[in-house]
Amino acid sequence: MNDILALSGVAQAALIRDRKISAHELFELHVARIEEVNPRINAVVETMPETEPLPGPFSGVPFSIKDSIEVRGTSASAGTLGYRHAPKSTRDATLVARLRAAGAVPVARTNLPDLLFAFESDNLIYGRTNNPYDVARTSGGSSGGEAALIASCGSAFGLGSDAAGSVRLPAHYCGIASLKPTSGRLARTGHVPPAGGWIEMLWQIGPMARRVEDLRAMMSILLGADGEDLTVVPMPYEGVKVSELRIAYFTDNGFAEPDAETQAVVEAAGKALGAVHSVPPGVGKSYELEMMLLGADGGDGVRAFLRSIGSDGTHPLLDGWLSKLEQFRTDVAGLAGYWSRLDQFRAGMHAYLTQFDVVISPVSSSAAVPHGTSIEEKTFRGFSYTMTHNLTGWPAAVVRCGTTSTGLPIGVQIAGPKWREDTVLAVAQRLEEIFGGWQAEGL
């Protein structure tokens, strides 16, 4: 692998500005890398033709996009049969357009689960994406193609989306960094399927990269309302010193106990920052609350959407999700009860942040799992750690801080108050400095 490909996007942009490599040469290096690794990991569903980069902070740097985010001149399949032959988009999604305006160049669209509903990236159109550290294991979902490609240096950074952990779990499984921003922070215009309904409060589009410095640089570019996604709140983006923060950590939410290696990595991260061990009250209810909100109609809304777009078949992992949602079916009075419990949960978590500025925790209960096993009950419950911050709406980042005895990455999750992406990314960068972050070894 060319050493240039392992650099951050910020560093690659500097090489272009210093005329040590041309934008064309850098693009060709990434295309060649995709051709080299994709037969093994199956992360890319489409490689895009080179375009002339605009001037800007990322001028000439290639980036990738999850196949549920629109890119002008391409089709977003969302991994589902009903969109297999969708017409080509006539414009970029807002965040893609902003990266282009900053000079970044789209290089690839990446794989995902059927209609984004799985913690693995496997669908009936393109098949499954493999973990670059162990192809017998999943890269995670739903932004698993993004994570696998970025980890393998096929793109510098990219965009995913997250309703229950979908940018954070793949980052953890593939050893890269990612951020789920505050709910209402970034415009979701151009996502497939679009925002809407009572569950739209749970999800955001988020940046993914090998290095935290790219996440920080991307956020300054992606911020701001677009006049179309009316949920976006134009809040300021600030700066913070890690040494001034009150940091808590916990290794077990009391609902899904992580394995010993995961707990040891999270504890090491917390202690490295002088954090206090403290479990937020009620955090063990995260799984039930997330599934209540997603499954109040028993999954009927998802089934109706699939019918409306002509999906005449669904992947077994999506079927498994729908089966789990069926258990939480309720009526209008029940939904009101669900909402009341969510309000109580969020109020309790907000009160907790009067004591702390940042909370460090596991991303899930283990490192990357074998293909097809993410839907198993014990493993599925382990995704409750990321669900917590879809419910709170807090920003949450992931960065690699360790490795299993078998060579798989282990990330930790860093969460903080609404609108304080600066805080969680500052802590993530400090942990990256201490523990090394992404590693090419083992790829």
Per-residue model confidence as pLDDT tens digits over 351-379: 999 999 999 999 999 999 999 999 999 99
Question: Which residues are 208's β-sheet partners?
Answer: 158, 178
- Residue whose token pair is 């960094």: 177
Amino acid 238: pLDDT: 83
At 93-143, the pLDDT tens digits run 999 999 999 999 999 999 999 999 999 999 999 999 999 999 999 999 999
pLDDT of residue 41: 98
CA count, 13 A, side-chain hemisphere, 13: 24
247-249 vs 276-277, strand pairing mode: parallel
Q: What is the mean pLDDT of residues 59-84?
A: 98
* CA 112 remoteness from chain centre: 11
Total domains in the fold of the chain: 1
> How do residues 193-245 score in pLDDT, each as one tens digit?
998 887 889 999 999 999 999 999 999 999 999 999 999 999 998 878 888 89
Give me the catalytic one of 66, 180, 285, 418. Answer: 66
149-172 as b/e, with b when 16 or more CB fall inside 10 Å? Answer: bbbbbbbbbbbbbbbbbbbbbbbb
Q: How does pLDDT run across 155-166, given as a tens digit for each residue?
A: 999 999 999 999
The sign of the dihedral angle between the CA atoms of 295, 298, 300, 306 is positive
Which residue reads 């493993």 in tokens? Answer: 379
What integer is the mean pLDDT of 75-84?
97
440 found inside a domain: no
* Structural domain contains residue 419: yes
Is 324 among the catalytic positions? no
Q: Is residue 197 part of a domain?
A: yes
Averaged pLDDT for residues 59-80: 98
Q: What is the pLDDT of residue 199?
A: 84
Name the pTM for this structure: 0.98
Q: What is the pLDDT of residue 247?
A: 98
Q: Is residue 297 part of a domain?
A: yes
> Which residue among 68, 139, 142, 286 is the active-site one?
142
443 within a domain of the structure (yes/no) = no
Among this protein's residues, is 66 annotated catalytic? yes
Q: Which of 68, 77, 155, 166 is catalytic?
A: 166
- What pLDDT, in 10s, does the model give residues 276-331? 999 999 999 999 999 999 999 999 999 999 999 999 999 999 999 999 999 999 99
Residue 152 lies in a domain: yes
| Domain contains 341 | yes
CA distance 385 to 321: 17
- Identify the CATH number of the domain in which residue 155 sits: 3.90.1300.10
Mean pLDDT of the chain: 97
The pLDDT value recorded for residue 353 is 94
Which segments of 241-399 does DSSP mark as H helices, in order? 260-272, 286-294, 300-308, 316-326, 332-352, 377-381, 384-392
In a domain, 87, yes or no: yes
Q: What is the pLDDT of residue 1?
A: 79
352-387 burial, b for 16+ CB within 10 Å, e for fewer?
bbeebbbbbbbbbbbbbbebeebbeeebbbbbbbbb
Domain region containing 141 = 3-435
Instruction: Give the per-residue pLDDT at 280.
Output: 97
